[in-house]
Structure 1
Amino acid sequence: MSTIPEPTRRRVLQALGAGSVLLAGCSSSSPEATPEQQTTSTPQTPSANAAQSTDVDRVAADPTDIPDPIDRDTSETIEVEMTTHEQVAEIEPGVTYEYMTFDGQIPGPMIRVRRGDTVELTITNDESNVMPHNIDLHAVRGPGGGAEDSTVAPGETATFQFKATYPGAFIYHCAVPNMDYHISSGMFGMILVEPEDGLPEVDHEFYFGQQELYTTGDTGEKGHHDFDMDAMAAEEPTYVLINGEKTAITPDKYGSPTVNVGEDARVYFVTGGPNLDSSFHPIGSVWDEVYPQGSIASDPHRFVQTTPVKPGSCAITTLHAEVPGNIKLVDHALSRVARKGALAVISREGEENTEVFDPDP
Structure 2
Amino acid sequence: MTTIPRSTRRRVLKALGAAGTAAVAGCASAPGSTEQESAASETPTEPAMNQPQEPDVDRIAADPTDIPDPIDRSSPKTVEVEMTTTEVVAEVEPGVTYTYMTFENQIPGPMIRVRQGDTVHMTITNDESNSMPHNIDLHAVRGPGGGAEASMVSPGETAEFRFKATYPGLFIYHCAVPNLDYHISSGMFGAILVEPPEGLPEVDHEFYFGQHELYTTGEAGEEGHHDFSIDAMKAEDPTYVLMNGEKYAITPDGYGAPTVDVGDTARVFMATGGPNLQSNFHPIGSVWDEVWPQGGLGSEPNRNVQTTPVLPGSCTMATLSFDVPGGVKLVDHALSRVARKGMMAVIAAEGEAQPDIFDPEP
- TM-score, normalised by the number of residues in structure 2: 0.92
Q: Distance in 2 between matches of 1:33 and 1:333?
A: 40
**Could you tell me which amino acid in structure 1 is paired with residue 153 of structure 2?**
V
Whether 2:13 is the aligned partner of 1:9: answer yes
| 1:101 paired residue number | 102
1:284 to partner: Cα distance: 0.5
Query: Contact conserved, 2:12 with 2:46, CA < 8 A, in 1?
Result: no
What is the CA distance between 1:7 and its match in structure 2? 2.0
Q: Is the 8 A contact 1:205 1:265 kept in 2?
A: yes
Paired position in structure 2 for 1:113: 114
1:25 shift after superposition: 3.2
Secondary structure at the counterpart of residue 158 of structure 1? strand
What's the counterpart of residue 46 of structure 2? 44
1:25 to 23, 28, 31: 28
1:155–1:284: structure 2 CA closer, same or farther, 3 Å change rule? Answer: same
In structure 2, the partner of 1:249 is 250
Matches within 5 A, 1:268-283: 268-283=269-284
Distance 2:221 2:36 in 1: 29
The AA in structure 2 aligned to 1:199 is L
Instruction: Supply the distance in 1 between the matched residues of 2:356 and 2:154 (Cα, whole angstroms).
Output: 60
Aligned-partner Cα distance in 2 for 1:110–1:228: 29
Q: 1:326 to 1:163 in 2, by over 3 A?
A: same
Q: Does 2:331 correspond to 1:333?
A: no
Residues 1:36 and 1:357: Cα distance change in structure 2 (over 3 Å): closer
Q: Where does residue 4 of structure 2 map in the other structure? A: none
Q: Distance in 1 between matches of 2:114 and 2:329?
A: 29
Q: Give yes or no for contact 2:289–2:321 (8 Å, CA) kept in 1.
A: yes
Q: Which residue of 2 aligns with 1:157?
A: 158
2: CA distance, partners of 1:350 / 1:294: 31
Structure 1 counterpart of 2:357, one-letter code? V
Where 2:11 maps in the other structure, the secondary structure is helix
Q: Are 1:349 and 2:350 counterparts?
A: yes
Listed as ranges, the matches of 1:255-334 within 5 Å are 255-334=256-335
After superposition, residues 119-134 of structure 1 pair within 5 angstroms as: 119-134=120-135
Contact 1:195 1:297 in 2 (8 A): no
Q: Is the 8 A contact 1:5 1:45 kept in 2?
A: no
Counterpart of 2:5 in structure 1 is none
Give the drift of 1:349: 0.4
Q: CA deviation at 1:11?
A: 5.4
**What's the offset of the Cα at 1:44?**
3.0
Q: Once the 2 structures are TM-superposed, how far is the Cα of residue 51 of structure 1 from its aligned partner?
A: 1.9
Question: Secondary structure of 1:148's partner?
Answer: helix
The whole-number CA distance in structure 1 between the counterparts of 2:269 and 2:146 is: 21
Distance 1:95 1:135 in 2: 28
Q: 1:179 Cα deviation (Å)? A: 0.2
TM-score normalised according to structure 1 size: 0.92
Mapped partners of 2:195, 2:42: distance in 1 = 50
Does the aligned pair in 1 maintain the 2:209–2:271 contact within 8 Å? yes
- Give the count of matched residue pairs: 347
2:211 matched to 1:210?
yes
SS of structure 1 residue aligned to 2:184: helix
Stretches of structure 2 that go unaligned for 5 or more consecutive residues are 1-7
- Secondary structure, in 3 states, of the residue corresponding to 1:119? strand
1:212-251 deviation digits (Å, cap 9, x = unpaired): 0100001111000000011101100000000000000001
Conserved? CA contact 1:12–1:33, under 8 Å: no
Contact 2:124 2:159 in 1 (8 A): yes
Aligned partners of 1:12 and 1:130 also within 8 Å: no
Give the Å deviation of 1:108: 0.2
- AA at the equivalent of 1:50: Q
For the 8 Å contact 2:46–2:217, the answer to whether it is kept is no
Partner of 1:225: 226
Q: Provide the residue aligned with 2:93 in structure 1.
A: 92
- Per the alignment, in what secondary structure is the counterpart of residue 308 of structure 1? strand
**2:334 and 2:36 mapped to 1: Cα distance?**
35
Following superposition, the deviation at residue 50 of structure 1 comes to 1.7
> 3-state DSSP class of the match of 1:227?
coil
Q: Which residue of 1 aligns with 2:179?
A: 178
User: Residue type of the partner of 1:88?
Assistant: V
Q: CA deviation at 1:5?
A: 7.4
Pair 1:194 & 2:195 matched = yes
